Amino acid sequence: MSTSWGEWFLESISSLEKRLNYILEMKRVRELWLQGELYLLSSDEQNLDLNRRGIIPGGEVDLIGQHPRMIAELKICGSGYYPKTLCGFHISNELAAKDEFTFEDMRSHHSTEGSVFKDFCRLYDADDSYEKYMIIVIPKLCRRDTLGQILEQTIFPGLEFHRHHEYFDIRVFQLPNRSKF
């Protein structure tokens, strides 16, 4: 593969801009639709697979690929979404005031609710033989609220790839290996 997975995710999602604008309002299908579109855009060399169990603790991994080995979690969330999407709980004033999150901060997520924090931690804890990516697509469908502001502006761990579009932003984080952090 001639580009990094982070760049590939950014370019591929950006190439879907016009159609993704319509899908962002479709509850329960938007993440699966985007996973399917990424699969269709992938090459045979990348060998992209979706929603596979047994790779990371706590359930399925959204995306897995080869050359180099990669796992990724995908979240579509932002302003107007349930605040618990961030950590599984209500967003406290203390949490909202942070301008950067560490893995230690994110360990205090709800253990059974799906959330951005939980996915970051599941990826971080996975086997270091994989490159690990957290992909966050942030719709701009309504007035910015606390969740939207956090997802758009707060620094998360890892190398960030990002792009702004009219109706959504993309933030892709390549997580560090545990041995290097």
- Tens-digit pLDDT profile for the chain (181 aa)? 557 999 999 999 999 999 999 999 888 899 999 999 999 999 999 999 999 998 887 789 999 999 899 999 999 998 888 888 888 888 889 888 999 998 988 988 877 778 899 999 999 999 999 999 999 999 988 888 888 889 999 999 999 999 999 999 999 999 998 876 5
Model pLDDT, residue 109: 81
The pTM score is 0.93
Helix (H, G, I), strand (E, B) or coil at 97: coil
Question: What is the length of the chain?
Answer: 181
Q: How crowded is residue 34: how many other Cβ atoms within 10 Å of its Cβ?
A: 23
Q: Give the CA radius of gyration of the chain.
A: 15
Model pLDDT, residue 2: 57
Q: CA geometry: angle at 82 spanning 71 and 97, to 5°?
A: 85
**CA distances in angstroms from 177 to 34, 48, 58, 101, listed in the order given:** 26, 21, 19, 17
Closest-CA residue to 150 (of 85, 60, 71):
85
Model pLDDT, residue 181: 54
Residue 21 CB-density burial (10 A; 0-12 exposed, 13-18 middle, 19+ buried): middle
Q: What single DSSP character describes residue 85?
A: G
87 token code pair: 């950590």
